[in-house]
Amino acid sequence: MNIYSIGDVIPQLKTGSTLVQMAFDGSLWELRIGFPAITQEEINELQIGDVNMAIANIKETLFCLFSIGRIPWCDAPYEPRLLNTPLEYPTEYAEGTGAPLLILTVDSATGVLKGMRMVSIGHKLTQRLHSICAKLNEKRPLDVGSYDRRVDEIYAQYPSCLDLLHQVQPADMAQLTSG
């Protein structure tokens, strides 16, 4: 698990463009969201806005989708087989609990961490997400070139996040926080 502080520069998050990434380290999920020259209003939305999450598994390709406050739906593919060492994706959580999700808010022009927030993915969505990851993990090795082409094909078929969202099953959506 990485240790962060507000104001840290995270070089790999200095992309100069809109950034939405998912990562898992075996104990918690990280959602990294950034905009170049992020505004205080965007930072506030990401820190206190209602968090909605959905997952779509299209052609054995996992997409995590989010809306936070007034920030529109966004998506990030996640592929467990891109990690050299397979991780465990536990599905046994006590009723009412789920995997933690750390939301990192970043100015992607500078890589500066502007905010952090911890929420729970929720019991059922965690079980579903981890189940999909575990099944994908069983199908190793991954041909990275084929994976990249498949992601490109899916984005060509579903060019917007809302198009992807229409592929989500109702059981694969959850409101993680609400005001």
**In terms of Cα–Cα distance, which of 50, 34, 51 is closest to 105?**
34
Ranges of each domain in the chain: 11-169
For 46-89, how does the pLDDT look when each residue is reduced to its tens digit (9 = 90+)?
999 999 999 999 999 999 999 999 999 999 999 999 998 899 99
**In terms of Cα–Cα distance, which of 125, 143, 147 is closest to 58?**
147
For 137-158, how does the pLDDT look when each residue is reduced to its tens digit (9 = 90+)?
999 889 999 999 999 999 999 9
Q: Quick one: tokens of 101?
A: 């999700």
With 0-12 / 13-18 / 19 or more C-beta atoms within 10 angstroms meaning exposed / middle / buried, residue 13 is: buried
The whole-model pTM stands at 0.94
**In terms of Cα–Cα distance, which of 128, 147, 26 is closest to 87?**
26
